[in-house]
């Protein structure tokens, strides 16, 4: 049995690191430390804090805008209804009501003539 096989059989593994690897790892660790300290110490330009509008004020403004829009729509509807009422009361339009059953029979009779 070789010496490497003996070490594995004991359950312990020993890793040997040469001088070049130690130097490279040390340089990497130092560069990372310099980078972290540089970023930590660097003055980051502060971004102005974002502030939400007071929720109560926002809701009141939103509600008042919705209410104003609803009132405007209601006024437009009322003015249109006023025009319809004026037209009907002026006598320019004549409304006649017919018996629905009689109208249905006449419609069916006209459909039969067309065929």
**Global confidence as pTM:** 0.34
Tokens in use for 90? Answer: 């002026």
**Segment 11-31, tens digit of pLDDT:** 778 888 899 999 999 999 999
Are the CB atoms for 86 and 92 separated by under 8 Å? no
- CB of 93 closer than 8 Å to CB of 87: yes
Q: How far apart are CA 101 and CA 69, in angstroms?
A: 44
Q: What is the pLDDT of residue 21?
A: 92
Which residue's structure tokens are 């006598």?
91
Instruction: Report yes or no: 79 and 86 within 8 Å, Cβ to Cβ.
Output: no
């Amino acid at each position: 049995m070789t010496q490497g096989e003996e070490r594995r059989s004991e359950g312990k593994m020993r890793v040997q690191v040469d001088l070049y690897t130690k130097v490279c790892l040390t340089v990497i660790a130092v560069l990372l430390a310099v980078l972290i300290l540089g970023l930590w110490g660097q003055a980051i330009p502060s971004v102005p804090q974002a502030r939400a509008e007071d929720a109560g004020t926002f809701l009141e403004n939103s509600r008042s805008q919705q209410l104003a829009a609803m009132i405007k729509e209601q006024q437009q509807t009322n003015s249109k209804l006023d025009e319809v009422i004026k037209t009907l009361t002026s006598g320019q339009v004549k409304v006649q009501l017919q018996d629905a059953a009689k109208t249905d029979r006449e419609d069916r009779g006209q459909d039969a003539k067309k065929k």
